């Protein structure tokens, strides 16, 4: 019996509602498999935790995460309680960095039965590979002077190492997919970091002569994602551009509530982290309407990462069939609540 | 007779096809008015000009622009001839900065007869007010080390002065419109410049107690622009975020070929500049299919700015009626060429 240790951080808002429900699905999958069990370590780290302890996670928190095989996260942030930059840099971004989760992967797919805001969603299916450790998200910078003279300076830092490994990951992935990589840039306006990014993209591309490459400025790329999403296969982007493109991807999928994400550690030293694209959605807490699909699809990415691809495939099949049968939460135009969707998926899994 | 001097810079690609055609419309409007004439100063500044002169514009170019009442620009850039950051920083961005065009205004509207990629475009009508002089578009930064150790550092600079005047402009505009300002931020990830932006937005907001305010992270805002565009009235954004949101706005309008823009000088020292959102589109040069509507709508913004609002209104009416009658270029699903669309608009104007 293989025992996998999972750090579970429900976090804030609907994270706390959705995560426990979806653990039932993971347990069902373990039962079906027979040869694996998941052992959960639950952590209450969140904005409420911060109000009590003045930190988002305890001193030994990171060490505890390091001892597990994966981190399963709900959502972090509730600006009514704690400013976002405190909660996120104290938990989500802290884990991404200290567990060296240097790549963020987010697939976006047209799903039968989910109403896209696009008139002709045309069965798009792309993955955004996002640099996850540096770039525009940087604590380097500050302010000078005050009042009318105040100036804020923000540094974006792009290293060859991080830029190159992100781009290489994208090419590797494209090789297993449809063979096209689109690079997001803005080298016409942002004249130091982005020409550097373009140069690395160009150089690295030589190692994959059969992969089709293209470079789009982020403004045009955002526009194309809406007007011709089916064109894209793998998109590679900086931390900020990846962030924007993946929310757009979730938006054209029809709901931010279904989009999954993975923060990948590449060196094997620390666990990877799996968290949906959606946030903590404080406005719908307690209504039972939170969509568990984003979290479950994220679980599928975790299963994949843990070498349990077959279980992941079963889960994805159950997710798609459940949506197809109209068992959907309100954001997808349905009337089911969180628990009903999860129950239905579990029932399906038991029948496979 | 009022004589208005207009600097005309067709620029590159379709700019050279569209701009001369649309000057015929401006002349028609002057005829109709009777009391005004436009005197054009044509400048061939472009990537081709660069190949010959090694600069995008001559030494006395800026001084010549300063002596005119407005600048009417087509499109700049042709990366096959000149790298974008050279052509753009040598012409477009140079003019924006040296003519102190500190604000960029871009309306996005649902237009009857233009097919939006959205299933339910819901008559959206918003304006993006973009900071146009600093922020993420900065020449401050550079590189250190080489090879595997290379690092690129990019500084974004946000001054109180530029941030505040942009936000104030947005509030003023919202007061004349539907009374809502949405601020684009990313203070959860970008922890120096964006919290500063948020703070100025918050402080300035106190001076407009009747205006409804909201702050969205750029990722969520991009997603909302697709899922609920009708929600927005005035959006205020940094240079980069404004750039991304306005291309998205053009995309949901149905074609980047119709979206207008204005680069506004606020201190009256230098002329403002009017350029459509679309680029030089090298791929369709010579096909006659370039859409003149973006340029013409931009001309309407110029007329407005020059105090010729009635002429601008006539032009906008003619544009909308022409589209409504199906006289459209290929990007809008029509079969008319550039000249036919312009001819039709002129005919209409003559009948008003
Ligand atoms: C060409 C480029 C530098 C420019 C910008 O980003 O400002 C363009 O995209 C625009 O929006 O006018
Ligand atoms: C909450 C925020 C810091 C985060 C990010 O921008 O990385 C989120 O938007 C995401 O995409 O995971």
pLDDT at A122: 85
CATH match of A1-102+260-352 with 3.40.718.10: yes
Using CA atoms, how far apart are residues A75 and A91, in angstroms rounded to an integer? 10
Q: What is the CA radius of gyration of chain A?
A: 20
DSSP result, B283-343 = GGTTSS----HHHHHHHHHHHHHTT-HHHHHHHHHHHHHHHHTT---GGGT----HHHHHH
Ligand 1 within 6 A of CB of A219: yes
Other Cβ atoms less than 10 A from the Cβ of B283: the count is 8
pLDDT at A39: 98
Residues of B in contact with A147 (CB under 8 A): 160
> What is the model's pTM?
0.97
Using CA atoms, how far apart are residues B280 and A33, in angstroms rounded to an integer? 57
For residue A218, the Cα-to-chain-centroid distance in whole angstroms is: 19
pLDDT at B278: 93
User: What's the pLDDT band for B122 if we cut at 50, 70, 90?
Assistant: confident
What is the nearest CA distance from B187 to chain A, expressed in angstroms?
Answer: 7
pLDDT at A265: 98
Q: What is the pLDDT of residues A136-156, one digit of tens each?
A: 999 999 999 999 999 999 999
CATH 3.40.718.10 boundaries in chain A: 1-102+260-352, 116-253
CATH superfamily of B1-105+258-352: Isopropylmalate Dehydrogenase (3.40.718.10)
pLDDT at A285: 94
Nearest to A160 among B148, B156, B279 (CB): B148
pLDDT for B85 beyond 90: no
Count the helices and strands in chain B (H runs, E runs). Answer: 12, 12
Please name which of A314, A297, A182 lies closest in space to residue A236, comparing C-alpha atoms: A182
Q: What is the pLDDT of residues B5-62, one digit of tens each?
A: 999 999 999 999 999 999 999 999 999 989 999 999 999 999 999 999 999 999 999 9
What's the mean pLDDT when you consider all of chain B? 97
- If contacts are CB pairs under 8 Å, which of residues 230-249 in chain A contact chain B? 239-240, 243-244, 246-248
Contact status, residue B84 vs residue A188, Cβ threshold 8 Å = yes
Ligand 1 within 6 A of CB of B88: yes
Residues of chain A with pLDDT under 50: none
Residues of A in contact with B154 (CB under 8 A): 155-156, 158, 190-194
Topology (CATH level 3) of domain B116-253: Isopropylmalate Dehydrogenase (3.40.718)
Strand pairing category for B272-274 and B262-265: antiparallel
Instruction: Measure A291 CA to ligand 2 centroid, in angstroms.
Output: 19
Q: What is the pLDDT of residues B297-333, one digit of tens each?
A: 999 999 999 999 999 999 999 999 999 999 999 999 9
| Inter-chain Cβ pairs, chain A and chain B, closer than 8 A | 204
Name the percent of chain B lying above pLDDT 90: 98
pLDDT at B20: 98
pLDDT at B38: 98
């Amino acid at each position: 019996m293989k025992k996998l240790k999972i750090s579970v951080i429900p976090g804030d808002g609907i994270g706390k509602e959705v995560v426990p429900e979806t653990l039932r699905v993971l347990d069902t999958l373990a039962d079906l498999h027979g040869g694996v069990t998941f052992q959960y370590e639950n952590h209450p780290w969140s904005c409420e935790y911060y109000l009590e302890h003045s930190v988002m996670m305890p001193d030994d928190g990171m060490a505890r995460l390091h001892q597990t095989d994966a981190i399963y996260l709900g959502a972090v942030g509730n600006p009514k309680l704690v400013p976002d930059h405190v909660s996120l840099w104290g938990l989500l971004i802290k884990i991404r960095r200290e567990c060296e989760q240097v790549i963020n992967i987010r697939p976006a797919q047209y799903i039968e039965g989910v109403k896209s805001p696009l008139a002709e969603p045309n069965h798009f299916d792309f993955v955004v590979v996002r640099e996850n450790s540096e770039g525009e998200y940087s604590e380097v910078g500050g302010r000078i002077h005050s009042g009318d003279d105040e100036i804020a300076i923000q540094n974006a830092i792009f290293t060859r190492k991080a830029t190159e490994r992100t781009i290489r990951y994208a090419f590797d992935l494209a090789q297993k997919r449809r063979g096209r990589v689109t690079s997001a840039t803005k080298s016409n306006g942002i004249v130091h970091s982005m020409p550097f990014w373009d140069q690395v993209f160009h150089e690295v591309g030589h190692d994959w002569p059969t992969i089709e490459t293209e470079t789009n400025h982020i403004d045009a790329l955002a526009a194309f994602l809406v007007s011709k999403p089916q064109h894209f296969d793998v998109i590679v982007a900086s931390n900020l551009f990846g962030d924007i493109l993946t929310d757009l991807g979730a938006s054209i999928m029809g709901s931010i509530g279904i989009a999954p994400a993975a923060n990948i550690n590449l060196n094997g030293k620390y666990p990877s982290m799996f968290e949906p694209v959606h946030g903590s959605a404080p406005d719908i807490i307690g209504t039972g309407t939170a969509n568990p699909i984003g979290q479950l699809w994220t679980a599928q990415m975790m299963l994949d990462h843990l070498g349990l691809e077959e279980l992941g495939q079963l889960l994805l099949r159950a997710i798609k069939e459940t949506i197809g049968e109209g068992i959907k939460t309100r954001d997808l135009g349905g009337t089911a609540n969180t628990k009903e969707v999860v129950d239905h998926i579990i029932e399906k899994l038991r029948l496979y």
